[in-house]
Structure 1
Amino acid sequence: MIEELKNARRPEAAPAGPLRRFGWLVAKLVAAFLFISVAQVVIFKFVPIPFTLTMAMDEHSVTKDWTPLDRIDRDMVAAVISGEDGKFCLHNGFDSAAIMQAFKRNQQGGRIRGGSTISQQTAKNVFLWQGGGYVRKGLEAWYTVLIETIWGKRRIMEVYLNVAETGIGTYGVEAGAQRYYGKSARKLSAVEAARIAAVLPLPKEREVNGAGGFTRRHGNSIARRVSVVKNEALDGCVYR
């Protein structure tokens, strides 16, 4: 009789509502993404990037040749820092001043310009897809934090120079050096490295050989700053 009274007073567990089940599902998906993304970055700290989504979606035949950083001329590193991200060794993956500058320019209309660092571009090129959107930008920020923390500057630069598009269907500076100059990236001159760096923002639209107009002027400007980058150790985080 006493047991029956105890059981009668014990309330039955309420079934989990749909909102709670949805919350658990979201939490599991977030946890899985965090684990997978960290695992990806840890693996690619040591393993060459075999392929990227950008390469897979390229309608042209893809040419690439993974090359360790110690087999790429220092002028090439100085050229991309000069042309793409002068504060590469100074920031933690994000250049707030460049982002704000780009935002102000874009408010004036015309062609949309970005303020992405080499770290952000590397995160996008390796793990994500091209194009805009808040989702992609948010994922890019997350992967940028991860590679800055786990890879460090030298590995980021090495990966960037191997996955950046340097021409139609051409990825990495080694493939670019072979295509345009018939030589290894180890033997590039400052001018040659600067011309490759000048096409990086728009590799499908700009020419390395026979470049004219803005591309030629931009390449010449980068070439003049290569020695400044090296003399002032703005590439010091790559070579320390």
Structure 2
Amino acid sequence: MAKSKTFKPSGKKKFRPGRWLALWVMRLAVLAAAVMLLAISCFAVFDPPTTFYIRSERMRLGAVDYAFVPMEDIAPVMARSAVAAEDANFCEHFGFDMAAIRLALEAGGARGASTISQQVVKNVYLWQGRSWIRKALEAMITPVMEMVWSKRRILEVYLNVAEFDEGVFGIDAASQHYFGVLPADLTATQAARLAAILPDPKGRSASKPSDFVRRRANGIRDGAATIRRDGRAACFES
């Protein structure tokens, strides 16, 4: 009697393109998250040697003025002035100022709601310009940076990479460019004027302020004194 043949599986799995694609997407997502965390952790300790925007301006202009200085070498009133001008609730939020976002939405987008933390993420890790991709990346990176960096470190990097005039980056270059002094020697008025030009550094001057800049600087100077009194400067001054 003839024996019946038994068929054994070959051991080869059937190729499933959907499953293969999902696996590689997951792997790439994990890799991207690891790279992002490494980059964020790196600059929590090491100072950024440059940024995408500083590099592009150096290529366009031929040279830029940029040097990183530690917070200890910056007048405390400069730090308070920057917070008063750009993000008065800096010590109270975790990267996003929801109250400011609601006001911006109510104003139909006519006013900005970016925090200092968001601006650091944009300046250090991303690129300039408005796009949904950049905003999405900014929204993902900002809370991670807030968890890894201290508030003092965030503000320190912000003051060092901000643009204060064409080709002038950081508070060290700005204080000497406008007033001929080191950042540690800035007065309350000088600090307020530097903070007043940050939204439009190429269209405003700290050393030759317009009436608008003078009025804005006066308000910033008062605001810096207020956040010092009410404790909203504690997170970066302690």
TM-score (norm 2): 0.92
1:47 and 2:49 aligned: no
Distance across 1 between alignment mates of 2:200 and 2:104? 17
Call closer, same or farther: CA 1:4–1:217 in 2, change over 3 Å. Answer: farther
Q: Could you say which residue in structure 2 is the equivalent of 1:221?
A: 219
Structure 1, gaps ≥5 residues long:
none
The percent identity for this pair of structures is 35
1:13 and 2:13 aligned: yes
Distance across 1 between alignment mates of 2:217 and 2:3? 91
Report Cα offsets for 1:205-224 as digits up to 9, x if no partner. 21112121322211121112
Is the 2:164–2:170 Cα contact (8 Å) retained in structure 1? yes
1:182-221 equivalence runs, <5 A: 182-221=180-219
1:150 and 2:148 aligned: yes
Distance across 2 between alignment mates of 1:137 and 1:229? 29
Distance across 2 between alignment mates of 1:120 and 1:91? 12
Distance across 2 between alignment mates of 1:32 and 1:128? 18
Shift of 1:193: 0.3
Residue identity opposite 2:235 in structure 1? C
Q: Could you say which residue in structure 1 is the equivalent of 2:55?
A: 56
Q: Could you say which residue in structure 2 is the equivalent of 1:27?
A: 26
Out of 96, 109, 122, the residue aligned to residue 94 of structure 1 is 96
Q: Could you say which residue in structure 2 is the equivalent of 1:38?
A: 37
Residue identity opposite 2:16 in structure 1? A
Out of 169, 174, 177, the residue aligned to residue 176 of structure 1 is 174
Q: Secondary structure at the match of 1:7?
A: coil
Residue identity opposite 1:13 in structure 2? K
Shift of 1:77: 0.7
Shift of 1:6: 4.5
Which region of structure 1 is more displaced relative to structure 2, 117-126 or 25-34? 25-34
Is the 2:204–2:210 Cα contact (8 Å) retained in structure 1? no
RMSD (CA atoms)? 1.9
Structure 2, gaps ≥5 residues long:
none
Distance across 1 between alignment mates of 2:171 and 2:211? 23
Residue identity opposite 2:81 in structure 1? A
